Amino acid sequence: MCKATNWRATRGVVFLDPYGLQVTWDTLVAIARTKALDVWVLFPSGMGLNRLLTKSGDIPDEWQETLDRSLGTKEWRSAFYRSEQEADLFEGPRSKSVKDADPMKLEKFYLNRLRTIFPTVMNTCVRLTNSKDQTMYLLCFACANPSPKAKALVSRLAGSATKA
pLDDT for 92-118, tens place per residue? 677 788 899 999 999 999 999 999 999
pLDDT of residue 162: 65
d(CA 140, CA 113): 12
Residues making up the chain, counted from first to last? 164
Which of 137, 117, 20, 139 minimizes the C-alpha distance to 70? Answer: 20
Contact 49, 25 (CB under 8 A): no
What is the distance between the alpha carbons of residues 95 and 37, in angstroms, rounded to a whole number? 45
Q: CA nearest 161: which of 59, 40, 68?
A: 40
Rounded CA separation 98/82 (Å) = 5
AA identity, residue 29: V
108 Cβ contact partners less than 8 Å away, ≥ 6 residues apart: none
pLDDT digits (tens, 9 = 90+) for 7-29: 788 888 899 998 889 999 999 99
pLDDT exceeds cutoff 70 at 89: no
Q: Does pLDDT of 71 surpass 90?
A: yes
Residues 119 and 144: beta-carbon distance below 8 Å: yes
pTM for the structure as a whole:
0.87
Could you give phi then psi for residue 86, rounded to 5 degrees? -125, 130
